[in-house]
Amino acid sequence: MRNSKIFLLLGLASGLFASPALAEDAKISLMPEGPQALAFQNAVGFADAVIAGDKIYLSGVIAVPAPDATDLKPAYEQAFLRIQKTLERAGASWDDVVDITTYHTDLASQIDAFAEVKSRYIKAPFPAWTAIGISALYEPTGVVEIKVVALKRDAEGE
């Protein structure tokens, strides 16, 4: 009996038995603002971003070029602007990004134009960046998917 009381006290003190309300506060999901995107993401089951502790995890954003486009830069620009808007909604900026992972359907032909657009948003000190060549994306007409992790600034912006 005494051992079970000690376990209960240790569990309460360590947060092992935290209430569901406290657990929900530990993670905040940012959903899209537009009704069509919201309906899609609810149906598929993902958020634009999740804030957990001091990290902001953005879902991948796919760059989709216009039909018959030969220049992919406008599609990359649109994807980076969407990421920027999500970062801002989460209380962050490009300066807070610590990790970028990009998935390219044709890495060799895409990387130079992609890096040029990325450099408009990402400045030194640079985050980690991993570029991966893949065969397909969720969106069949997409060419690159960009996934970002950022640090959440405190209330004073530090």
Question: What residue ranges do the domains of the chain occupy?
Answer: 27-151
The token pair at 70 is 């030969």
Superfamily classification of domain 27-151: RutC-like (3.30.1330.40)
pLDDT of residue 150: 98
Give the pLDDT confidence of 8-37 residue by residue, as tens digits.
333 333 344 343 444 445 799 999 889 999
| pTM of this structure | 0.80
C-alpha–C-alpha distance, residues 95 and 150, integer Å: 8
> Quick one: which H or E segment has residue 65?
none
**Residue 78 confidence (pLDDT) above 70:** yes
The token pair at 8 is 């209960």
pLDDT of residue 20: 42
Contact by Cβ (8 Å): 71, 151: no
Question: Phi-psi bin for 91: left (phi > 0), alpha (psi -120 to 50), beta?
Answer: left
